Amino acid sequence: MIRVLARGDVESALPMSAAIEAVKAAFVQLSKSRAEMPMRSSLEVSAHSGVTLVMPGYLRGDDAMAVKIVSVFNDNPSKGLPRIHALVVVVDAETGRPGAVMDGTYLTALRTGAASGAATEALARENARVTAIVGAGTQGRTQLEAVCDVRPIERAWVVDIDRDAAEAMCAEMAERLDLPVEPAASAAEALSGADVVCTATTSSSPVFDDVDLRPGTHINAVGAYTPAMQEIPAETVQRGLLVVDHRASALAEAGDLLIPMEQGLFDEAHIHAELGEIIAGDKAGRTSEEQITLFKSVGVAAQDVAAASAVLAAAKSRDLGIQARV
């Protein structure tokens, strides 16, 4: 028997606050070399502007294992489909027996938001009250939810190249979070009063100008996950306190880092820490109110393992989903 969990089951099983705690624990294990996580395999489907990734992981501290298959097809929105589709299989680490299969599309957005929540908690100023979200897709929504979970956000701005998408996200999230969420005419307008900025786009060029950042801003950059993608200006990466989810993954995949490195602006020593090192207290975080802090995430399997395992535990206790014989 295997438990099958649809998106609604995943949403019900793991609220954002619990997802943040699960992801924090996973990052600590990852930074302390207590996770087995090979680099993800990538299958390009250039004929359809897509890529399918396979991401296995094992957290030794939790004795938890899972595999995610995630596809990112950039032409999907024009077809009325989500850009990202994913499926996660949770595997019993003792026997290798598949224990559950669950929707990974929402889980991916949830764990990505949770990572930014963890980074915001660790790096943003305590008095952060305003956030700006660049990118009005599913990822942008969970970014905003996560930031609001760890800081007393009073106002949010959303900017997207599709104004209608930004307005739709604002209306939805204002009702869900019970706070003013407004569309901005430009990134400069969105950033003008922001204490926390989240970028969740598929851009290949910076989505804001470095000069538009306020002193003391914290940035969560989660959209660019290939060497050719870039959301953050090189100047921002160069002057900010740079924290990554996983050094090896960031240095292999993060265009936000690799492009400035190719320009000779800095080398890999510019990475201050992995987020797990800061959460564990092994490295310092923010050192001043004026400092720019940047969390660069490409997304790693350890997040999926932690989130999926937490979903399955809750699903078992509440008997969510359906049991199927395979």
**What is the residue extent of each domain of the chain?**
2-108+302-324, 115-299
- Contact, 134 vs 207, CB < 8 A? yes
Sign of CA pseudo-dihedral 53, 14, 158, 199: negative
Residue 154 dihedral angles phi and psi, to the nearest 5°: -110, -20
Average pLDDT over residues 185-214: 97
Res. 99 pLDDT band, cuts 50 70 90: very high
Q: One of 68, 79, 296, 316 is an active-site residue; which one? A: 68
Q: How many CB atoms lie within 10 A of CB 133?
A: 31
Alpha carbon distance 94, 73 (integer Å): 35
Non-local (6+) Cβ contacts of 42 within 8 A are 51, 52, 53
Q: pTM for this structure?
A: 0.95
| CATH of 2-108+302-324 among 3.40.1000.10, 3.20.20.210, 3.30.1780.10, 1.20.1260.10 | 3.30.1780.10
Q: Is 157 left (phi over 0), alpha (psi -120 to 50) or beta?
A: beta
Tell me the CATH architecture of domain 115-299: 3-Layer(aba) Sandwich (3.40)
pLDDT at 325: 87
Query: Residue 194: is its pLDDT beyond 90?
Result: yes
Res. 326 pLDDT band, cuts 50 70 90: confident
Does 68 participate in catalysis according to the annotation? yes
E-assigned strand segments in 216-306: 218-221, 241-244, 271-274, 293-296
Render pLDDT for 204-256 as a digit per residue (tens, 0 to 9): 999 999 999 999 999 999 999 999 999 999 999 999 999 999 999 999 999 99
Non-local (6+) Cβ contacts of 236 within 8 A are 210, 213, 219, 292, 294
Render pLDDT for 63-78 as a digit per residue (tens, 0 to 9): 999 999 999 998 998 9
pLDDT at 19: 98
Query: Residue 93: is its pLDDT beyond 90?
Result: yes
Q: Which of 276, 306, 279 is nearest to 107 (CA)?
A: 306
Rg, the chain, Cα only: 19
